[in-house]
Chain A
Amino acid sequence: MTTTIPTTPGNAAGLPTSADGTSPPARPSTGRGPGRQIGRFLAYVVLVFFAIVYLYPFLIQIVTSFKTDTDATNSPLTLLPDPVTTAAFSRLFDTQFPLWAFNSVWVAVLVTAGRVFLCSLAGYALARLRFRGRSALFTAVLAVMAVPSVVLLIPKFLVLNQLGIYDTPVALFLPLVADAAGVFIMKQFFESVPASIEEAARIDGASTFRVFWSVVLPMARPALITLTILSFQASWNELPHFIVASQDRDLYTLTKGVATLTTGQLGSGNQFPLTLGAALLMTIPVAIVFFVFQRYFVAGANEGGVKG
């Protein structure tokens, strides 16, 4: 994140400031010196307080996963494990944790690839191609986006059961590929780029798919990255769908498997280092993606704001 917000109150005249706003040019003398200092101080107090509230749980999570069970239970607040042990992780790898991780990976890869490709196709059609029923289709996209996902839990099971794919690998990923919001995001993006380049390609006689694949998609890189990240994160973190789509222990993903560490038979007792270690490991892939592509996450979240 390098972008900054231009309209800070102290800079209302639109004077240039440095990227993080730390070296303000001479402020217009409005006679608010001391008040402003106090206000700033209070702002930092608020921010630091919330930063502690937000970071401390993650710190405790990391530290506790290196503690022994008794140490975790007896001194939950201390940030120094005594002794430091990786026993929880060894025990974790004796469970089916590696299998869950493997399942999460292939499900996330298939869901992400499927969503990105199919949402771009449909989004492009809605943005650029003139076809009968297009506006009705777009209305349908908006309507489907408004359906609360939890309402679909039982209905999804019914269809998977009826199709005979309940408890199969296909049931894990295929329903998650269906995504109206991604279509919407891609349509909005394609409408924001000029059509002149692709029209030139079309005049040269390239087929619609060829234009889409060789000309349009390469230009859509930022939108594709955003959608890739949102899809990966959504499928990696998905829980309710996996609960209703399968029961076979071999098809557990990380979310469903780790959930059994606390809700299932394994949940008894105070195995906090084990559960927190599992939580830590399953967070790492999303955390890496988040820190590398942070600006795209922010962009994705702001989609809601753009739409409003």
Chain B
Amino acid sequence: MTAVPAPAGGLATSPVREPGRTRSKRSSGQNAAGWAFSAPQVVLVGLFVLIPILMAFWVSLTDWRGRGSPFSTGVGFVGFDNYATILTEPGLPRQDFMTSLRNNAWYVVFVVPLQTAIALGLALVLNSKIRAKSFFRTAFYFPTVTSSVAISLVFIFLFTGGGAVNGLLGLVGIDGPNWFSDSRGLLHLAGDGLGLWDASNPPAALTDGGPLGLSWWDWLSGPSIALAALILLVVWTSAGGYMLMFLAALQDVPADVQEAARMDGANAWQRFRNVTLPALRPTLFLVTTLGLIGTWQVFDQVYLISQGNPAKTTLTPAYLSYTSAFETGQWGRAAAMSFVLFAIIVVLTTVQRYVMRDKDAIAEKKAARAAQRRRSSSSRTTFFHAGR
């Protein structure tokens, strides 16, 4: 799942207007042809997307253990017990699920801003007069099209105890950690370093209680060093794809407004802040939305590199759901986790949409785009121009 997650773009899509045709033109022949043409994909998507979701929802309400059909008579209906087990009932299953949510939340908090900032920064630099532009663009984008398996194998080697990363750190006198087996949380270490607390003897106020089966101390650990290595891997892999989106959007930033701002004496930062950034707002929204959706689904890297270790600090909901089903046979619970994860993604993207809404900027952007289109600059690298 390294590819840029294009599907979710549907969230940000404005409905495409139908070509102006009247209803009377519709013939019965087109009716039949329309459905005949669509039928194969409709059947496949129904069979492998819609029906699976319905089936999984049924399984999440049962105690099915993976034997026979989940619809057979021996399978017990348990209502929302599986959801209660992972969300409200104290116990190990809830503790594990909350730990996975904790890990994934820290992962998102670090990956999304980092990859967005790097993507935007690289796009801005590449959008100036630079030699060998396409060389740099290719170098930054290539990891995005490479398999997560290949990249994970390379990073296992780079981050191994005596590996290249620690070798480089050694050159500047830093004794690097044993990345993939170090479960110490970054915030715990930072607080320790600043003298706020002693990480080996945490303050009782934080360890004594906390919501949802984890202590405050555990919630506030930050990503472990092992998870930090995964964060670096994913930021490295995905920033290039988002960079391309910013590059495409930068072409739409109206040059005359830039020039007018310069004439008015605006410095580079002011021009960026007041001209470029507002024009990039829709892309910024898209990139953070795709980032949120993608990062909450992290599975491949955990499966390949850490399997949730060390000390469950790289456990993620997607991976926990997989092991609960395929390794421990708790299919109902695993399906319930999938739906909770689904709900989290939906809620967060909705909240993010609300927070980042800005009608004025979007209207301006649309106007700018329309103006750009009227000038019909031939060099836009949009999809439709690409192949000609």
Residue in contact with A132 in the complex, picked from B31, B271, B321, CB distance below 8 Å: B31
- By a CB distance below 8 angstroms, the chain B residues around A144 are 7, 45, 49-50
A277 to chain B, nearest CB (A): 10
Distance, CA A105 to CA B284, complexed state (A): 37
Residue in contact with B383 in the complex, picked from A39, A162, A302, CB distance below 8 Å: A302
- By a CB distance below 8 angstroms, the chain A residues around B144 are 301
Distance, CA A110 to CA B168, complexed state (A): 44
Residue in contact with A6 in the complex, picked from B167, B255, B325, CB distance below 8 Å: B255
A151 close to chain B: CB less than 8 A: yes
A233 close to chain B: CB less than 8 A: yes
Count B-side interface residues using an 8 Å CB cutoff: 146
B155 to chain A, nearest CB (A): 7
B48 close to chain A: CB less than 8 A: yes
- By a CB distance below 8 angstroms, the chain A residues around B262 are 12, 30
B17 to chain A, nearest CB (A): 9
Contact A121 B37 (CB under 8 A): yes
Distance, CA A303 to CA B44, complexed state (A): 23
Distance, CA A60 to CA B142, complexed state (A): 16
- By a CB distance below 8 angstroms, the chain A residues around B16 are 138, 187-188, 191
B326 close to chain A: CB less than 8 A: yes
> B382: nearest residue on chain A (CB-CB)?
A306
- By a CB distance below 8 angstroms, the chain A residues around B194 are none
Q: Do A302 and B245 contact each other (CB < 8 Å), given the known contacts A73-B162, A150-B297?
A: yes
B107 close to chain A: CB less than 8 A: no
- By a CB distance below 8 angstroms, the chain A residues around B34 are 125, 129-132, 134
Contact B283 A308 (CB under 8 A): yes
A195 close to chain B: CB less than 8 A: yes
Q: Do A50 and B150 contact each other (CB < 8 Å), given the known contacts A233-B3, A304-B6?
A: no
Distance, CA A303 to CA B326, complexed state (A): 36
Contact A275 B153 (CB under 8 A): yes
Contact A146 B326 (CB under 8 A): no
- By a CB distance below 8 angstroms, the chain B residues around A244 are 322, 326
Contact A177 B44 (CB under 8 A): yes
Residue interface bits A39-52, CB-to-B below 8 A is 1, else 0: 11001101100110
User: Which of B76-84, B222-230, B330-338 makes up part of the contact surface?
Assistant: B330-338
Q: Do A154 and B134 contact each other (CB < 8 Å), given the known contacts A47-B125, A130-B25, A307-B12?
A: no
A119 close to chain B: CB less than 8 A: yes
Residue interface bits B339-374, CB-to-A below 8 A is 1, else 0: 101100100000000000000000000000000000
B290 close to chain A: CB less than 8 A: yes
Contact B303 A51 (CB under 8 A): no
Residue interface bits B7-45, CB-to-A below 8 A is 1, else 0: 111111100101101010111011111110110111011
Residue in contact with B136 in the complex, picked from A51, A243, A290, A300, CB distance below 8 Å: A51
Q: Do A304 and B33 contact each other (CB < 8 Å), given the known contacts A149-B1, A262-B304, A299-B382?
A: no
Q: Do A153 and B322 contact each other (CB < 8 Å), given the known contacts A5-B251, A54-B139, A178-B49?
A: yes
Distance, CA A233 to CA B248, complexed state (A): 22
> A263: nearest residue on chain B (CB-CB)?
B304
- By a CB distance below 8 angstroms, the chain A residues around B282 are 308
Contact B321 A154 (CB under 8 A): yes
Contact A57 B155 (CB under 8 A): yes
Contact B379 A4 (CB under 8 A): yes
Binding site secondary structure of chain A? helix
User: Which of A14-22, A82-90, A91-99 makes up part of the contact surface?
Assistant: A14-22
Distance, CA A258 to CA B56, complexed state (A): 29
A7 close to chain B: CB less than 8 A: yes
Distance, CA A191 to CA B383, complexed state (A): 13
Contact B146 A302 (CB under 8 A): no
Residue in contact with B250 in the complex, picked from A5, A20, A180, A282, CB distance below 8 Å: A5
B179 close to chain A: CB less than 8 A: no
What are the 8 A-B residue pairs with the smallest beta carbon separation, nearest first? A222-B387, A131-B34, A155-B52, A299-B386, A12-B259, A125-B37, A155-B56, A130-B26
Chain B interface (Cβ < 8 Å from any Cβ of A): 1-13, 16, 18-19, 21, 23, 25-27, 29-35, 37-38, 40-42, 44-45, 47-53, 55-56, 59, 69-71, 121-122, 125-158, 160, 162-164, 167-168, 236, 240-241, 244-245, 247-251, 253-256, 258-259, 262, 268, 271, 282-283, 285-286, 290, 293, 296-297, 299-300, 303-304, 307, 318, 321-322, 325-326, 331, 334-335, 338-339, 341-342, 345, 377, 379-388
Add 4 more A-B contacts to A157-B326, A208-B30 (CB < 8 A): A5-B127, A50-B122, A175-B47, A302-B244
Pull 22 A–B residue pairs with CB atoms less than 8 Å apart, ordered by A.
Answer: A3-B380, A13-B255, A17-B129, A21-B130, A46-B121, A50-B139, A51-B139, A55-B139, A60-B158, A133-B35, A145-B7, A154-B321, A154-B331, A155-B53, A155-B335, A175-B44, A191-B19, A208-B33, A258-B153, A287-B142, A296-B387, A305-B249
